[in-house]
Amino acid sequence: MIGVIDYGAGNLGSVMNALRRLNTDARFVRGPEDMRAFEKIVFPGDGHFATAMASLETSGYASAIREWIQADKPFLGICIGLQLLFDTSEEAPPVDGKETRGLSVVSGKVRRFPGRKVPQIGWNNTKARPSSRLFKGLPEHSFFYYIHSFYADPADASITAAEAEYYCTYCGAVERSAMSAVQFHPEKSGAAGLMLLENWIAGT
């Protein structure tokens, strides 16, 4: 059974629809304590880094997600579900000297694209590493659907599973043990997105 975390963000319906198209048994997680009922967790969503993080802290999901990943259980973050894994974000600069911290399960910072035309909206060529489990069976260069103004910059480049370009070369996906996360929206990326989700479900 796959659990989809609902913390009030958008695009959750499209994620659930994609999982159902793959004949996958999935339902929304009813709260942090409910996560233990699932074998795999998907954390999708969009929104502002600070607002989303505040929601996770208030609801108790922040601690539950950290514990889940530390226990090396299958996890897939999508869009802000990738960015919130990091330490800090330029989207949420310090206020009165107080810094907004992310989940800090991946060392690094989320940075704003250096160009003027943001957000990036639309399909972008994504180059996967040959060893990536998520991208198994997909062409080395595949197109996925993105919508974001900020990108993740891991301190350890070895966890980067795929890269894309928009003003700069940036991290499009990360993999570490049972944790995976993507900046793009696989649920909106046609056949390539469904194949990536299928790979994650299969654990390949």
| Residues with a known catalytic role | 79, 185, 187
Of the candidates 152, 154, 170, which has an alpha carbon nearest to the alpha carbon of residue 162?
170
Angstrom distance (rounded) from CA 164 to CA 52: 24
Angstrom distance (rounded) from CA 60 to CA 103: 12
Task: Check: CB of residue 3 under 8 Å from CB of residue 41.
Answer: yes
CB count within 10 Å of CB 41 equals 21
Q: Could you tell me where the beta strands, DSSP code E, fall in 44-195? A: 75-78, 88-89, 108-112, 120-128, 141-148, 150-154, 160-165, 169-176, 179-182
